[in-house]
Amino acid sequence: MKKTFFLCESGLALWFAALVVLVCASSASAQDMDYGDAPSPYPTVYADNGARHISGSSVYLGSSVDIEADGQPDSSALGDDNDGNDDEDGVTFESTLVKGEAADVTVTASTVGFLNAWLDFNGDGDWDDAGEQIFTSRLLFPGKNDLIFAIPTDATSDPTCARFRFSLNPFLSYNGEIPGGEVEDYQVTIGEGGSKSPDPLDPTIDLQPNTLNLRSKGKWLTCYIELPEGYDVNDINVSTVKLLVLGEEVSAEINPTEVDDYDDDGISDLMVKFDRQALIEYLDGATGDVTLRVKGEVAETPFEGEDTITVVSPGK
């Protein structure tokens, strides 16, 4: 069972594409750049080596990217949104941000590329502190990408800022210039813990087949769910079990299901099945290593885990 996210066959192509972007961007005007809009003292304007992306490529977040003469710091990180060309639509926080809990975020990418993102958890006006980079060289696919990050228990309760940078270059800081891509800044508020539902359990998820052929005519993707000690897979409400695929959901089939010790470790597993053709449709041609999440409820307690499968398309 693969639990680690690796960049494999896409790497060489992405580096070549990055070189092409660099060559093309070299002819762009010095003002043809996309900047952020986080307030000072975050590095936003050119004079502070603010994050900036030379425009002219098809690499961006959301539906489009605009250009600015310089960064537009704003107390609510809305300077870029309020300039008449609101392009900051690539990041959606799907859950309330709560101290000590996991947060769901959907990031929409125009193409295959890398995401680096930061959140100023202690509210000191920078993204330098340990643990404040929430995504590092995370490979994204075209369309919606469902991601999770953890929020520390001692995070600030005051409004603070997050920065998301998307590029063909996996190695980005929160400041500085890069050819192609986009930067988007967001103001967020982190709530106190204790008022939300319990943290999701972290089950073991095994998806089979672990290599999926996009041209396959097979009927099912089979999922084996093993819960932490103290929970019984017989109590899982199968109607709540969902497979999350690049921003879309596939519901588990009510039948067939079965409980057995499939991995011979002495702990029972629940076997459920998902429509393989629905999964292939939502993958929309994406190949390589793809991390899929499975969520559901057991005795009204949520669980959420993930597994990585390899997607291939012979002849591509």
Lookup: tokens for 307: 């597994």
CA neighbor of 161 nearest in space, from 223, 243, 99, 73: 73
pLDDT at 82: 56
CATH 2.60.40.10 domain range(s) in the chain:
204-312
DSSP E strands in 168-251: the ranges are: 177-179, 182-188, 204-208, 211-213, 220-226, 236-245, 248-251
Distance of alpha carbon 91 from alpha carbon 238, whole angstroms: 30
CATH 2.60.40.1930 domain range(s) in the chain:
11-188
Is the pLDDT higher at 308 or at 68? 308
Q: Which residues contact 152 (CB under 8 A, 6 or more apart)?
A: 99, 100, 121, 131
Q: What percent of the chain has pLDDT over 70?
A: 85
Lookup: tokens for 166: 């998307």
DSSP E strands in 112-235: the ranges are: 113-119, 133-140, 143-150, 160-167, 177-179, 182-188, 204-208, 211-213, 220-226
Distance of alpha carbon 222 from alpha carbon 176, whole angstroms: 45
The CATH code that applies to domain 11-188 is 2.60.40.1930
Rounded to the nearest integer, the mean pLDDT of the chain is 87
The yes-or-no verdict on residue 57 having pLDDT over 80 is no
pTM for this one? 0.56
CATH 1.10.275.10 fits 204-312, yes or no: no
Give the three-state DSSP class for 105: strand
Q: Look at the block and give the residue holding tokens 């969520």.
A: 295
Q: What is the mean pLDDT of residues 62-78?
A: 87
Distance of alpha carbon 35 from alpha carbon 44, whole angstroms: 7
Q: Look at the block and give the residue holding tokens 């057991």.
A: 298
Please, which pLDDT band fits residue 21 given cuts at 50, 70 and 90? very low
Please, which pLDDT band fits residue 30 given cuts at 50, 70 and 90? very low
Is the pLDDT higher at 236 or at 20? 236
Question: For 112-154, how does the pLDDT look when each residue is reduced to its tens digit (9 = 90+)?
Answer: 999 999 999 999 999 999 999 999 999 999 999 999 999 999 9
The yes-or-no verdict on residue 85 having pLDDT over 80 is no
